[in-house]
Chains A and B, each alone.
Chain A
Amino acid sequence: GAGVSQSPSNKVTEKGKDVELRCDPISGHTALYWYRQSLGQGLEFLIYFQGNSAPDKSGLPSDRFSAERTGGSVSTLTIQRTQQEDSAVYLCASSLASTGKSYEQYFGPGTRLTVT
């Protein structure tokens, strides 16, 4: 079956613009995760959804970042008023459930965001 897909693959935006990054999880996966991968910070966990609910948003780097998930499927990560430090690869992953720590997370190919 299809894996996790993310769009766009690459995004170049000007500082101050808003961007939306999309993630399509594997069908039937109830849990969805967002991570950020940058040279300076490595891989950082940002937020996860169980269904449409995000129990903890404290991992989001600033209030310019928001995420939503609708219909228990597609998720969108929005970054408002982008800054150069937001440049990174944004990875999405999904798993069967988040209540079991053993569930494997399947990753998408990521979106490379470049803020100029």
Chain B
Amino acid sequence: AQTVTQSQPEMSVQEAETVTLSCTYDTSESDYYLFWYKQPPSRQMILVIRQEAYKQQNATENRFSVNFQKAAKSFSLKISDSQLGDAAMYFCAYSGGADGLTFGKGTHLIIQP
């Protein structure tokens, strides 16, 4: 079974600074997808970024980028120029087949003004 581990229950960063959220996963599959979802207090899960395992190039979406290390099974999220609106729970998720996502426990991101 696949597992996803987020070792940082909570992170705090000053507004406009850069923060990196960690995620590791375990799988025996070679073809899979990884995602970072954001969940603000409204409970709405929002996709931040995704990465295809077969692509070596790290995905980027504006201020959000990932550091995907396939051999190490690591998938960290970097948020540049942090904004107050980035405050939320961030979940790392794995998709390996035609079923549901496997989520990590989440990291609570606090943005200090």
Contacts and interface: CB of A to CB of B under 8 A. Distances in A.
Nearest to B29: A101
Interface residues of B, number: 26
A97 to B, nearest CB: 9
Interface in B28-64: 31-33, 35, 37, 42-47, 50, 52
B15 to A, nearest CB: 27
Interface of B, helix, strand, loop or mixed by DSSP: loop
Interface residues of A, number: 27
A102 B52 contact: yes
A42 B52 contact: no
Interface string A67-100: 0000000000000000000000101010000110
Contacts of B96: 101
Interface of A: 33, 35, 42-43, 45-48, 50, 55-56, 59, 89, 91, 93, 98-99, 101-102, 104-110, 112
